Structure 1
Amino acid sequence: MIGIESRTDHLEKLLGDPWDARNPAGFAAAVAADEREDTAAAAEAALDDFGLHAEFVPTALGGRLARVDHMVELMRSVYRRDPALGLGRAGQLLAAVNVWTAGSPEQRRAAADLLLDNRRIAAAFHELAHGNDIAANAFAAQHVDGGLRLSGRKESIANLDRADALVVLARTGGTDGPRSRSQLFLTADRLDPARVRRLPRFRSVGMRGVRLGGMVVDGLHVPDSVLLGAEGTGVDTAARAFQVTRMAMPAMTTALLDTALRVTLHHTRRRTLYGRPAAAIPVVRTALAETFADLLVCEAFSRAATRALQLRPESGSVHAPAVKYVVAGVLTDAVERLSTVMGSEFYRRDGEHAVFQKLARDVKPVAFGHIARAACLSALLPQLPGLLGRSRRDPAPAPDALFSAESELPAVDLTALRSVSGGRDCLAASLGTVLDADLPAAVRQRAEDHVRAFATLTEAGTSLRPRQLAIDAEVPVRRLAARYTTALAAAACLGVHRTAADGDFLARPEWLVAALTRLSSLDRPSGAPLPTAVEDALIAELTGRDDRGLSFGLNARAYT
């Protein structure tokens, strides 16, 4: 199999220079397609030529999915040009991870063959009446002689009109309970048009190029063999499988902020105000530096979490909601901050900066799509006492391989994922050891702040009782879960800095000071500003990368 560097370089060349107005897969084409509520045909064709869906198929089934962090980095090349294009394709992963987790050998083979042939599989989980609460779904699969009879509605299905197969969550139990729902793998030829009515396309404000559809099913008969895994395990399978997508998809979306920051930088470096470039105005410099730091924080946390899926998969039930909560919130706030810097240019739907208004709309669903940020905290709450107690009792350094992109990883094993972590979280446990390292004075001060905050959090966790941790938990208790996610992100940033190669920007103390300072502001919105020297270092790195055509993320890859 061709290595990730070569594959990413090849994909970048196929998609071409996004700034070239003549490029049919560039920003101008993406904006024009968005006005039609579509994606650029040339970009879709380039992804098919590349065989993008093979990135979602495990190597054991003939695909290229050997490392989740590599898949994320490659998909950033797509999201960087058009987030709707990226989400439309990443939706195949949303469906497929359930097949890889629980499917029979025949089902896994069938799903792999579809994806390797550039075809699509859609995930039919959500119902508008129940939002993100998939365990409350009403779509039913009743046992009848010789199979199952399906009835009900499914809405907000990405790529339904293009799908060659569906993964459907259905109620198979007679009463509500943890084993009352099952997953089904249905190929399109089983969707009898006499029993399946397609709903009109759902329109959206953001991600307009993603084709959202729905269906009403009335008495569709299918054989028992469509069951995906054992009956009654549908929600458990989703809880385990979606740990991959709830980390990977927000991680891919950091490329949206990369582009938004680049557009803003281009605009402010060229615009003159008060006799100097707008980028030199203090308030603008601060916004650019803070946003750059935010992007690095998101990618550092995402890197550690996605690598942990293969190194420490038992932590997935903790890292998945934590990554979604932190990354989605930071991305949304950062794009809003940049929109104020863009000023009236933010609204333009023509010209070289027109892609910004599209990005400002496309970032909104990141906060609630797949799972809402509030639901992420609800998923963490029941695990919180065990996590805090174990971290307090058994602090231990996190393995270097969790943070270094060059370190090897074991094979992807989705069967190793668990619905709950049992209190095991290598990132949180590492916070009690970070002060043992030889840290520069400026870094040590901020690291100590995070270590003290985590110690206070662990003390608060000892008094938590099960009745306080339900879905209706009070705001102060939910804030404890939010503070836990901040601690994880801080541990990830400290680890990335510790393992960075000499001479790398990530090995410099300035970026880590910026990262820890920005993370402190998540708990205290009026947090401390970046020190002047730190801001200067960030701006120098940011403009230097821009001049050299490098991405603004951790890997600083060639942008085109």
Structure 2
Amino acid sequence: MLKPHQLAAELEARLGDPTDPDQLFSYENCAGLDARDEFPAAICDQLDGLGLSTYYVPPQYGGALQNYEDLFQLLRTVARRDMTVAVAHGAAYVDAVPTWIAAAPPLALRLGVELVRGHRAERRFRGGGVGDALDMASSPPDPIGPPVAAASPAGYVLTGTTPAAPRTRGGLTGLLARTGDDLMEMSMFLVETERAQLAPPARLHGIRGTDHGSLTLHDTEVAATDLIGTEGSGVELAMKSRQLTWIVDAAVSLGGIDQVLRLALDRVIEDTVYDLRLVDLPQVRRRLTEAYADLLAAEAVALVATRSVQVSTDELAVVGPAATVFLRDRADDLIRLAAELTTDEGRVGKALRDHQTAGAVSGGVRVLRSLAGQLPLLVRTYGQPAPLAPAAALTTDLPELRADQLQLLSRNGSSLMNGLPVAVAELESLANAGVVSHQLAGSAEVVLSVANDLHCQLADAIDPTVALELGKRYSLCFAASACLQVWLRNYADHPKDDLWTGGVWLEACLVRLLGLMRVPPAGLAETVQIAYGRLMPAMVQQLRSGRLLSLFPYPLSEESRP
């Protein structure tokens, strides 16, 4: 088992069976917290005790964040149980990223020690809540706009209110403040959380109980050494940080898929209607197999994207948005499907609310616009020679992250997409050698044709109203390329795995992705029936054996089925 999946399996086992109400991190307990809009403090403390916070901190600052795939798989495990907990706990990582990128080592070490220790402060809400919260009537009115940082002999004096966002309960928090006359002259600071007042959290539709609110500072003095990076670099730093924080979004989406797809399968495979098993109904069987293919494709995309953090750092401006758009769309569709197929309205309804709200809070539309805005640049780089997708070779060691390589735009486009022609040719060679079917190779050729046509469209002037749809189509081509590369770089390591042998999962994923693009695969209906027919037994076997539905399954804490 690969190390990231081994870490996830160990965390899963130590958290216990989530269907057992006596377990702290159980579905029942999370439902109760959601109903009360209560922060999952005890569960977050449990995760800290199990060492999750150490994976938010790079090793040079006392943590274990050597591989961003480790972080992704651990947060995916948390999100599979409850997306709210993943967002609430992962907020500490999101908040810390600017410090890892640009802070002076002493400041970063200070935050690292705080996170590894795992201490969570009790919240003091302005205008009510716990403890000695200040009465709003006695507080000066909040300034409009971001906080202002005025120079002082000791450093800066911060005054103002931040925008609402999920907040960490750690002892230190990062925030943007204006350090010049221009609104864009922003700087990032690391301040002690207890020196700011948190407005009572907003009552959100989903991810209820997370500390989603604004911070207010009144003449708060901070030292010059609390400045993260250089003065005036705050906006750029925030944008670069986003290229590392989308990992939390990806984990939330895939974890949500993990949870609801299993619920739907449990019902459909076990239940009957008029003495017929639901799974034997052709339309239901087809839709479930498509959903499993969606899950496997989403997993392949997430693996390549998270490994690209360290392998192709200068391409994250494209990789992050493309992966996020694909994962969010697939998760939304699969959660809705589960709502149609399962009777567990509580868990599925909560998953739907949580995922939709998490996407809105983290700026789902902005992510798509970011990808669409780069499409003209991607046209100019498409077709350039590219390495053999090192991010997809899952057994190779990853280099250390070089944060100085983060770019606001990917000047070289996407090496994953640029390598698509070579990957398709490689698959054709394997088909000629009898390793995979010619139908699979033909479907890969169709994917390449779609990608070529898409880039021809992008070469023309793009109407803004069309750009977003083209961005979504690009994310589907990106996903197909990720699936191809993951299978090509790793199939030799799985000679006895029915899911990998002959490209079973790859063919189903390509057929599914072409269907989402409304393009028929090679062989038309025959290819679709064969691809899904070969995939179904692997899905049922993973489900009945109590293992994670995955390219790399491991035992789950729920009771295994006979």
TM over 0.5: yes
- The alpha-carbon distance between structure 1 residues 295 and 236, as it changes in their structure 2 partners (threshold 3 A), is same
Structure 1 residues 52-88: Cα deviation after superposition (integer angstroms, max 9, x where no partner):
1001111222211111112111222211111111111
2:125 is aligned to none
| Preserved CA contact (<8 Å) 2:55 2:64 | yes
Q: Distance in 2 between matches of 1:447 and 1:277?
A: 34
Structure 1 residues 102-149: Cα deviation after superposition (integer angstroms, max 9, x where no partner):
011111101100111013599xxxxxxxxxxxxx96332233454323
Q: Which moved more, 1:234-243 or 1:316-325?
A: 234-243
Q: What secondary structure, in the 3-state scheme, does the structure 2 residue paired with 1:200 have?
A: coil
Q: Distance in 2 between matches of 1:451 and 1:7?
A: 36
Q: Does 1:153 align with 2:161?
A: yes
2:478 is aligned to 488
2:487 to 497, 506, 519: 497
- The alpha-carbon distance between structure 1 residues 138 and 292, as it changes in their structure 2 partners (threshold 3 A), is same
Q: Distance in 2 between matches of 1:302 and 1:491?
A: 12
Q: Distance in 2 between matches of 1:41 and 1:462?
A: 51
2:355 to 363, 366, 373: 363
- The alpha-carbon distance between structure 1 residues 3 and 154, as it changes in their structure 2 partners (threshold 3 A), is same
Q: Distance in 1 between matches of 2:119 and 2:22?
A: 28
Q: Does 1:171 align with 2:141?
A: no
CA positional deviation for 1:268 = 1.9
1:140 is aligned to 148
1:423 is aligned to 412
1:517 is aligned to 511
2:134 is aligned to none
Give structure 2 stretches of 5+ with no counterpart. Answer: 123-143, 432-436, 558-562
2:126 is aligned to none
- The alpha-carbon distance between structure 1 residues 260 and 396, as it changes in their structure 2 partners (threshold 3 A), is same
Q: Distance in 2 between matches of 1:330 and 1:9?
A: 24
The aligned runs of 1:149-298 (5 Å cut-off) are 149-159=157-167, 162-177=169-184, 180-189=185-194, 191=195, 196-298=196-298
Q: What secondary structure, in the 3-state scheme, does the structure 1 residue paired with 2:382 have?
A: helix
Give 2:242's aligned amino acid: F
2:550 is aligned to 553
CA positional deviation for 1:248 = 4.4
Q: What secondary structure, in the 3-state scheme, does the structure 2 residue paired with 1:558 have?
A: coil
Q: Which moved more, 1:484-493 or 1:149-158?
A: 149-158
CA positional deviation for 1:234 = 0.9
TM-score, with structure 2 as normaliser? 0.86
CA positional deviation for 1:22 = 3.2
1:133 is aligned to none
> What fraction of aligned residue pairs are identical, expressed as a percent?
25
| Preserved CA contact (<8 Å) 1:55 1:71 | yes
Count of matched residue pairs: 520
Q: Distance in 1 between matches of 2:387 and 2:153?
A: 57
| Preserved CA contact (<8 Å) 1:260 1:338 | yes
| Preserved CA contact (<8 Å) 1:268 1:279 | yes
Structure 1 residues 511-536: Cα deviation after superposition (integer angstroms, max 9, x where no partner):
22221222224433999877223223
| Preserved CA contact (<8 Å) 1:389 1:461 | no
1:452 is aligned to 449
Give 1:419's aligned amino acid: L
Give 1:428's aligned amino acid: M
Give 1:249's aligned amino acid: D
CA positional deviation for 1:20 = 2.4
2:422 is aligned to 433
Q: Which moved more, 1:283-292 or 1:7-16?
A: 7-16
1:535 is aligned to 532
1:44 is aligned to 44
2:434 is aligned to none
Structure 1 residues 181-231: Cα deviation after superposition (integer angstroms, max 9, x where no partner):
111110235x1xxxx543222111211132323233333333332211001
Q: What secondary structure, in the 3-state scheme, does the structure 2 residue paired with 1:202 have?
A: coil
Give 2:541's aligned amino acid: G
Q: Distance in 1 between matches of 2:423 and 2:443?
A: 11
Give 1:509's aligned amino acid: G
Q: Distance in 1 between matches of 2:176 and 2:470?
A: 32
CA positional deviation for 1:482 = 2.5
Q: Distance in 1 between matches of 2:403 and 2:215?
A: 30
Q: Distance in 2 between matches of 1:55 and 1:92?
A: 11
Q: What secondary structure, in the 3-state scheme, does the structure 2 residue paired with 1:537 have?
A: helix
- The alpha-carbon distance between structure 1 residues 382 and 159, as it changes in their structure 2 partners (threshold 3 A), is closer
CA positional deviation for 1:232 = 1.0
| Preserved CA contact (<8 Å) 2:204 2:357 | no
Q: Distance in 2 between matches of 1:167 and 1:95?
A: 6
Q: Which moved more, 1:245-254 or 1:273-282?
A: 245-254
Q: Distance in 2 between matches of 1:197 and 1:20?
A: 38
Give 1:448's aligned amino acid: E
- The alpha-carbon distance between structure 1 residues 284 and 5, as it changes in their structure 2 partners (threshold 3 A), is closer
Structure 1 residues 342-385: Cα deviation after superposition (integer angstroms, max 9, x where no partner):
2xx243x4xxxxx222212212124323222x322322344322
Give 2:14's aligned amino acid: L
